[in-house]
Amino acid sequence: MTVLTCASTGKSITLLGEPIADSGEGKVWRTNHNGYLAKMYHSQTPERVQKLAVMIAHRPKEPNSHLNHISFAWPKSVLKDAQGDCVGFLMPEIKEAKELIDVYNPSKRKALKLDVDWRFLHTTALNIASIIEAIHISGYVLGDIKQQNILVNDRALPSIIDTDSFQVRNPVNGKIYRCPVGSPDYTPPELIDKDFSSIDQTEVHDRFRLGVIIYQLLLGGQTPFAGKWIGAGATPETNELIRRGLWLYAPNSLIQPVERTTPLEIVHPEVQRCFLRCFNDGYKNPNLRPTAGDWVKALRLAVNELTICGKLDSHYYSQTYGKCYWCDRSTKLGTDIFPGFVRPKQQSAVVESTSQFKTFATDKTLENIAIAGQIHTLQGHSSSVYSVAFSPDGKTLASGSDDKTIKLWDVTTGREIYTLQGHSSYVHSVAFSPDGKILASGSDDKTIKLWAMTTGGRIRTIEAHPDSVRSVAFSPDGKTLASGSFDKTIKLWDVITGKQICTIQAHSSWVNSVAFSPDGKTLASGSHDKTIKLWDVTTGRKIRTIQVHSDSVRSVAFSPDGKTFASGSDDKTITLWDVTIGRQIYTIHVHSDWVCSVAFSTDGKTLASGGCGDIKLWDIATGAQIHAFQGHYFSVAFSPDGKILASGSGDKTIKIWQVASLPSVTSNITTTLFSVQPTQSQVSQSSFDMPILWCYLLLLFVFFGFVSFVSGFVVGFVVCIMGIGCCWRFYRWFWRGKI
């Protein structure tokens, strides 16, 4: 038993059992510290010690720390023997993952019974590119990118190992510690037969290696340098083909596709262009090869345009290609490299990696992509997304779907964190508590479920209503939860105990939406009975009924200051109300169909509305349209900082939109698409107000004449003034305040 000392902590590290890996440089051992391995060098050199010191002091930023995922097995600490000499280093262990070749090679996948589809492989490629981009940004060159050095878990999250072989540059003095090794089939043409220990490499060389890895992932495990040789003599070795720039799609190539070759044309056009730049343009000018960041952009487009086959749910194909290549291929060749499997149902509420690695669940793939001011599409749900909600800190987005699940997404990266399962029917509504610790969900299964965000575990299930729960909302203090249901009632619940506080017999038809005012004193509800009602939360009594829509009210929302109230309806309109005086401000007629959702920005200056087919942003002060997004509609939600908007839709996706500094489209709106309708309080004197007022004045004139005749002029004048005052007060109350 070997006992070493961890240089950074001074603690003892014991090597356990036998080595689990052996390479030319050293052996890898398990240790008595769970989650950590030790790499012990066969022979140590001063340069290795210096290189490790630089790596430990300048670790690249971990892009997946929020997922508790290790993207690279980076040296954590030097290990010393009893004499105080450096003999190796401590590094994190990558658990429950397979070598990359096991994932992209169809035969190995089949032998291991890995449930992997083309979307999983796209996402893996995308995540590899994003991790390598992070490494390059930190100034490192991988040098030896190869299939054995990349492990992949069941969420399509890669981990790069053997990091001590990287080329390292000391940022303090500029000294370079080279990568002394390279792998055949992954070496760029300009480095073939070169001595790596004497060459300072750059990220341009990594670009070639990355291109080969992505090609293998997307094109059936094949290398770009494999095919039918039509030149003279025997087929050259792969390195010779690379040296000569001969690959399947090189100009005048001497390699031709065979029957089993997966054609380049099936991948997204942007990905095709990256391959051509890498192996054609980059052959003569290596600087023209796409960077890791270029691959990230292209692969993100490719992932977003994948669609599922109508015949087999294990088949994905690019919309730009237009048909399922994998179905055609299996029919032609008699074998399917993405056969459909019956996936086991997950029992836990949170989707996590299992302790025994058995299968890759492709619905757990995570995309390591930053939003960076662009439209971002989140894929993972298998049916319509009915509701989206941001956590109070703006870091997490929750989505509820027709597929009976709730998914939590990292807003910064656009990646799925985990899936909450437990509802037996559609999830119509999700809402975060004000402190962000609890998520509430309402479902067609008639229940409300409360989830703990720190663990993802279910706190409790509330058997809430005898019919579908359509909407849930937390009070501002987080102590009360309101629910609206198809049973026409609203119920208030104690969040701590889960007990019912009261039931409000609210509407004559189902309740579609509930919302608390910012002070928590008022609850608004929108119903299929075409009305909006305001309720006193303390007493449960109705404050007023608002009847302005001509069809079902789908959504209600209060402005952040509580002074304005918005509603969206099936009558294609949005209406804004002044809450303090109970007056309608204006009505916007603009959507071509139902208004499914409305939401205020945090500064209260902008309103977002989701209509069937589009999302629109409105200036609250003027009612003018600011911007429009096409294609999404079920649910909209602003982030707490108001800079981004999330939307869920019937296309099974969530989209995140950058809304800060958007160009206005108001000038393009015509009166047929946008009109602010005058309310009853804004109608001209030719309608209601003036005729009624003249009737009052006429009656007062008659009354004045009668009193003057009986009591004299002075008394009659006083009575008349008092009467006019009373009538004016009545007029203001009845016509200006009536709703």
Across 243-257, 367-381, 651-665, least confident range: 367-381
The Cα–Cα gap between 689 and 701 comes to 18
Question: 3-state DSSP call for residue 726?
Answer: helix
Contact criterion met (CB below 8 Å) for 326 and 338: yes
pLDDT of residue 516: 96
The Cα–Cα gap between 456 and 528 comes to 34
Residue 410 binned pLDDT confidence (cut-offs 50, 70, 90) = confident
pLDDT exceeds cutoff 70 at 674 = no
Q: Residue range 49-53: average pLDDT?
A: 95
pLDDT in tens, 273-312: 999 999 999 999 999 999 999 999 999 889 878 888 888 8
The Cα–Cα gap between 285 and 119 comes to 32
The Cα–Cα gap between 14 and 250 comes to 53
Contact residues for 671 (Cβ-Cβ < 8 A; gap 6+): none
pLDDT of residue 721: 67
Residue 372 binned pLDDT confidence (cut-offs 50, 70, 90) = very low
Q: pTM above 0.75?
A: no
Computed over every residue of the chain, the mean pLDDT equals 84
Residue 374 binned pLDDT confidence (cut-offs 50, 70, 90) = very low
The 8-class DSSP code of residue 141 comes to B
The Cα–Cα gap between 90 and 217 comes to 31
Could you tell me the two tokens for 712?
A: 């004299």
CB atoms within 10 A of CB 357: 15
pLDDT in tens, 382-408: 888 999 999 999 989 999 999 999 999
The Cα–Cα gap between 507 and 528 comes to 8
Could you tell me the two tokens for 370?
A: 């930053």
CB atoms within 10 A of CB 284: 9
The Cα–Cα gap between 350 and 417 comes to 10
Contact criterion met (CB below 8 Å) for 489 and 467: no
Q: Which of 299, 28, 354 is nearest to 161 (CA)?
A: 28
Contact residues for 189 (Cβ-Cβ < 8 A; gap 6+): 208, 242, 243, 244, 245, 283
The Cα–Cα gap between 360 and 711 comes to 98
Residue 361 binned pLDDT confidence (cut-offs 50, 70, 90) = very low
Q: Which of 158, 181, 130, 168 is nearest to 26 (CA)?
A: 181
CB neighbour class for 531 (10 Å; exposed up to 12, middle 13-18, buried from 19): buried
Measured in degrees and rounded to the nearest 5, phi and psi for residue 78 equal -70, 145
pLDDT exceeds cutoff 50 at 627 = yes
pLDDT in tens, 112-167: 988 899 999 999 999 999 999 999 999 999 999 888 999 999 888 999 999 999 99
pLDDT of residue 86: 94
pLDDT of residue 83: 92
Q: Residue range 428-443: average pLDDT?
A: 95
pLDDT exceeds cutoff 60 at 222 = yes
pLDDT exceeds cutoff 70 at 365 = no
Q: End-to-end alpha-carbon separation of the chain, Å? A: 84
pLDDT exceeds cutoff 60 at 23 = yes
Q: Residue range 693-714: average pLDDT?
A: 59
Q: Which of 560, 567, 566 is nearest to 603 (CA)?
A: 560
pLDDT in tens, 512-524: 999 999 999 999 9
Contact criterion met (CB below 8 Å) for 153 and 96: yes
The 8-class DSSP code of residue 262 comes to P
The Cα–Cα gap between 441 and 449 comes to 5
Concatenate the DSSP letters of all residues of 228-243 into one string.
EE-SSSSPPPHHHHHH
pLDDT of residue 25: 84
pLDDT of residue 649: 86
Q: Residue range 710-730: average pLDDT?
A: 61
199-209 residues labelled b (16+ CB within 10 A) or e (exposed): bebebbbbbbb
Across 359-363, 419-423, 635-639, 643-647, least confident range: 359-363
The Cα–Cα gap between 378 and 399 comes to 10
Residue 676 binned pLDDT confidence (cut-offs 50, 70, 90) = very low
The Cα–Cα gap between 149 and 63 comes to 18
Q: Which of 66, 37, 708, 674 is nearest to 416 (CA)?
A: 66
Report for 212-216, 548-552, 679-683: range of highest mean pLDDT: 212-216
pLDDT in tens, 570-590: 888 899 988 877 788 888 876
Packing angle of the helix pair 713-731, 689-711 (nearest 10 deg): 160
The Cα–Cα gap between 437 and 450 comes to 10
pLDDT in tens, 532-564: 999 999 999 999 898 889 999 999 999 999 999
pLDDT of residue 720: 63
DSSP element (H, E) containing 526: strand 522-527
Q: Residue range 704-733: average pLDDT?
A: 59
pLDDT > 90 fraction of the chain, expressed in percent and rounded: 60
Across 184-193, 454-463, 495-504, 660-669, least confident range: 660-669
Residue 327 binned pLDDT confidence (cut-offs 50, 70, 90) = very high
The Cα–Cα gap between 666 and 688 comes to 32
Residue count of the chain: 739
The Cα–Cα gap between 411 and 738 comes to 44
Q: Name the more confident of 469 and 367.
A: 469
CB atoms within 10 A of CB 710: 9
What's at 66, amino acid-wise?
H
Residue 44 binned pLDDT confidence (cut-offs 50, 70, 90) = confident
Question: 3-state DSSP call for residue 555?
Answer: strand
Contact criterion met (CB below 8 Å) for 185 and 239: yes
Could you tell me the two tokens for 484?
A: 């609206």
